[in-house]
Amino acid sequence: MTIEAGPTGALRIAPSILAADFGALADAVRAIDAETDWLHVDVMDGHFVPNVSIGPPVVQSLRRYSSRFFDCHLMMSEPGRYLEAFKDAGANGCTVHVEVGGTASLIRDARSLGLRVGLAANPDTPFEKVAPYLGDVDLLLLMTVFPGFGGQSFMGDVMPKVTLARREVEDNALEVDIEVDGGIDVRTAPIVVEAGANVLVAGSAIFARPEPLEAARAIRVAATLAE
Ligand code: DX5
Ligand code: ZN
């Protein structure tokens, strides 16, 4: 079964499973399925970021419980060593950080594996660092927190970079989704859409709420108001 990302540029809500109950992950994912476009899978290696989360075995297990597009955010120093394992486990898109280097070959490797290709930039990484690759990727992830943990505060000073990216994508008619990740909730959702993002990752604003499904719907409504 081919799992599609959907039309580039469309508004998408991508719950981050990092904030879910890992002891009942399949239940947590199924509970919000009706309000989920993509599922954001945060992979942390304890080296690129000071935290360790999950790897291909969990993606493989989760694949049996969800038909959603798995948007794997590889916060890893050597993502190239694991792209094939994630693809085999059922990942649909893999996003690598420009900060780890070797970007051009990572993009080529991911593309040759048939993955949808994403490139991520930390809040303090200037747009100029990712601009040369925009024509080669399907997604640009602009972090609105420093990666490593959920539940951090939204960094509004990343918005000019989001707008710059949106302008570049539109001016060059590029087929690139612009994703934001970190501190997204009903308050910040309209801000990031206004700035030019179309894929919104939210972890604690969904899974740390008493009614995750309703919380995801509220973020979508808040984001839609800004469209
Ligand atoms: C942080 C991760 C984010 C994080 C988002 O390194 O990449 O996806 O889980 O969590 P919230 O939405 O709680 O900031
Ligand atoms: Zn993430």
pLDDT digits (tens, 9 = 90+) for 169-219: 999 999 999 999 999 999 999 999 999 999 999 999 999 999 999 999 999
Q: How far apart are CA 201 and CA 180, in angstroms?
A: 6
Q: Which numbered atom of ligand 1 lies nearest the CA of 204? A: 13
Burial label, 110 (beta-carbon count in 10 A; 0-12, 13-18, 19+): buried
Residue 41 lies in a domain: yes
17 lines ligand 1 (CB under 6 A): no
Ligand 1 centroid, distance to 84 Cα (angstroms): 24
In this predicted structure, the answer to whether residue 165 has a pLDDT above a threshold of 70 is: yes
pTM reported for the whole predicted model: 0.98
Q: Domain containing 197 — which CATH number? A: 3.20.20.70
Burial label, 36 (beta-carbon count in 10 A; 0-12, 13-18, 19+): buried
What is the tally of structural domains in the chain?
Answer: 1
Residue 6 lies in a domain: no
Contact assessment for residue 168 and residue 131, using Cβ atoms and an 8 Å cutoff: yes
Residue 3 lies in a domain: no
- Within a 13 Å sphere around the CA of 4, how many CA atoms are in the beta-carbon half? 4
pLDDT digits (tens, 9 = 90+) for 60-92: 999 999 999 999 999 999 999 999 999 999 999
Q: What is the pLDDT of residue 91?
A: 98
The residue nearest atom 10 of ligand 1, judged by CA position, is 150
117 lines ligand 1 (CB under 6 A): no
* Ligand 1 probe mutation, 13, 32, 39, 42, most atoms within 8 A of CB: 42
Residue 4 lies in a domain: no
Residue 144 lies in a domain: yes
Residue 5 lies in a domain: no
- Cα–Cα distances in Å, from 203 out to 22, 48, 126, 206? 13, 20, 25, 6
pLDDT digits (tens, 9 = 90+) for 96-122: 999 999 999 999 999 999 999 999 999
Residue 28: domain span? 12-226
pLDDT digits (tens, 9 = 90+) for 16-47: 999 999 999 999 999 999 999 999 999 999 99
Residue 27 lies in a domain: yes
Residue 89 lies in a domain: yes
Q: Is the sign of the CA dihedral 37, 153, 213, 220 positive or negative?
A: negative
